């Protein structure tokens, strides 16, 4: 197993157990203690875990993810406006990445007739697009993360990397966005895939309802400099919006 794959598995274990030890991980993976220490140090530097003496723990706040079904009905009208505005950015023939968030899901009704290619790791996105004959859907596969209904883990990440696809646009959801912390997420398992998509996206668009503006969650997805556009609602906190716009962030309120 490559170190990148092992780190992804370590991240999954920490997300499930909240705490792991170097001894346990070395035995679990059959590698040296020094290899595990390097893995944990790298994950700590990436902002995905907190390094402790003899092991690591989940970041404070990492276990606060709201169940998918609750998020799906929360602020629906607001999310629908955001999704519609985002869908209007998509042009015929484009290849786009849509993550598995409930806000990005609201794009789907407005994309059904467009001849585009959609790459996703979200089971909800795949299900919604399955009835469209115009849209080509490429799914990551992988281990299903039940709270978010997204495919995660080494298999999903490797598949998306091996596809070697250039995204004309990426559409991302997040648990929080702020000027000081950037784009953050409560579900740590999704972060490696979100980061990879942003890395190869030509135009990265963040979709967040007003409740996410000014919020900081445990895991860093990306700094604001990696995001070309934010779409939110008119109810977003004015001070935070003004601060981000003054810093050069393009924000559309709908």
pLDDT given for residue 63 in this prediction: 44
Helix (H) or strand (E) holding 207: strand 204-207
pLDDT given for residue 50 in this prediction: 85
Clarify whether residues 122 and 244 are in a common domain. Answer: yes
C-alpha–C-alpha distance, residues 118 and 95, integer Å = 6
Domain-ending residue, one of 19, 36, 58:
58
Token digits for 105?
């899901």
What b/e readout covers 190-201, taking b as 16+ CB neighbours within 10 angstroms?
bbbbbbebbebb
Clarify whether residues 50 and 125 are in a common domain. Answer: no
Clarify whether residues 53 and 73 are in a common domain. Answer: no
For 30, 103, 183, 209, 233, the CA distances from 237, given in Å and listed in that order, are 50, 18, 16, 11, 10
> Can you give the CATH number for the domain in which 40 is found?
1.10.10.10
Clarify whether residues 53 and 72 are in a common domain. Answer: no
Indicate whether 203 belongs to any domain.
yes
Indicate whether 63 belongs to any domain.
no
C-alpha–C-alpha distance, residues 102 and 163, integer Å = 25
Q: Residue 201: which of 142, 160, 150, 251 has the closest Cα?
A: 160
Indicate whether 48 belongs to any domain.
yes
Query: pTM for the whole thing?
Result: 0.76
> Can you give the CATH number for the domain in which 187 is found?
3.40.50.1360
What b/e readout covers 108-135, taking b as 16+ CB neighbours within 10 angstroms?
bebbeebebbbbbbbbbbbebbeebeeb
Indicate whether 244 belongs to any domain.
yes
How many domains is the chain partitioned into structurally? 2
Clarify whether residues 130 and 76 are in a common domain. Answer: yes
Indicate whether 101 belongs to any domain.
yes
Clarify whether residues 54 and 90 are in a common domain. Answer: no
pLDDT given for residue 61 in this prediction: 52
Q: For residue 52, what are the β-bridge partners?
A: 55
Indicate whether 107 belongs to any domain.
yes
Domain-ending residue, one of 14, 32, 58:
58
State the residue range of the domain holding 218: 68-253
Clarify whether residues 48 and 110 are in a common domain. Answer: no
pLDDT given for residue 243 in this prediction: 92
Clarify whether residues 242 and 134 are in a common domain. Answer: yes
Clarify whether residues 142 and 44 are in a common domain. Answer: no
Clarify whether residues 94 and 161 are in a common domain. Answer: yes
- CA dihedral of 149, 154, 157, 161, whole degrees rounded to 10: -160
Burial class from Cβ neighbours inside 10 Å (0-12, 13-18, 19+) for residue 89 reads middle
Clarify whether residues 74 and 19 are in a common domain. Answer: no
Q: pLDDT truncated to tens, each residue of the chain (254 aa)?
A: 677 778 878 887 887 777 889 998 999 889 999 999 998 988 888 778 888 888 888 876 554 455 555 554 456 889 999 999 999 999 999 999 999 989 999 999 999 999 999 999 999 999 999 999 999 999 999 988 877 889 988 889 999 999 999 999 999 999 999 999 999 998 888 899 999 999 999 999 999 999 899 988 888 999 999 999 999 999 999 999 999 999 999 999 99
Indicate whether 199 belongs to any domain.
yes
Indicate whether 83 belongs to any domain.
yes
The residue behind tokens 């912390």 is 181
C-alpha–C-alpha distance, residues 159 and 253, integer Å = 35
Clarify whether residues 179 and 219 are in a common domain. Answer: yes
Domain-ending residue, one of 33, 58, 83:
58
């Amino acid at each position: 197993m490559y170190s990148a794959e092992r780190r992804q598995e370590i991240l999954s274990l920490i997300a499930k157990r909240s705490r792991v030890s170097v001894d346990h991980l070395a035995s679990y993976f059959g590698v040296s203690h020094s290899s595990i220490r390097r893995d944990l140090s790298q994950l700590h530097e990436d902002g995905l875990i907190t390094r402790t003496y003899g092991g690591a723990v989940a970041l404070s706040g990492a276990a606060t993810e709201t169940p998918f079904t609750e998020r799906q009905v929360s602020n629906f009208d607001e999310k629908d406006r955001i999704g519609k505005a985002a869908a209007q950015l998509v042009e015929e023939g484009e290849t786009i990445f849509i993550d598995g968030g409930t806000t990005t899901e609201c794009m789907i009704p407005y994309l059904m007739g467009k001849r585009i290619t959609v790459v996703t790791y979200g089971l909800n996105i795949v299900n919604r697009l399955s009835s469209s004959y115009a849209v080509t859907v490429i799914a990551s596969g992988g281990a299903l993360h039940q709270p978010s209904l997204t495919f995660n883990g080494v298999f999903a990440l490797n598949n998306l990397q091996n596809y070697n696809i250039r995204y004309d646009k990426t559409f991302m959801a997040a648990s929080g966005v702020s000027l000081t912390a950037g784009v953050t997420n409560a579900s740590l398992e999704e972060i490696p895939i979100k980061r990879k998509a942003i890395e190869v996206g030509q135009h990265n668009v963040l979709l967040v309802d007003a409740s996410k503006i000014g919020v900081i969650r445990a895991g860093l997805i990306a700094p604001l400099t990696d995001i070309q556009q934010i779409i939110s609602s008119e109810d977003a906190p004015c001070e935070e919006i003004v601060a981000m716009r003054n810093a050069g962030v393009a924000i559309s309120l709908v």
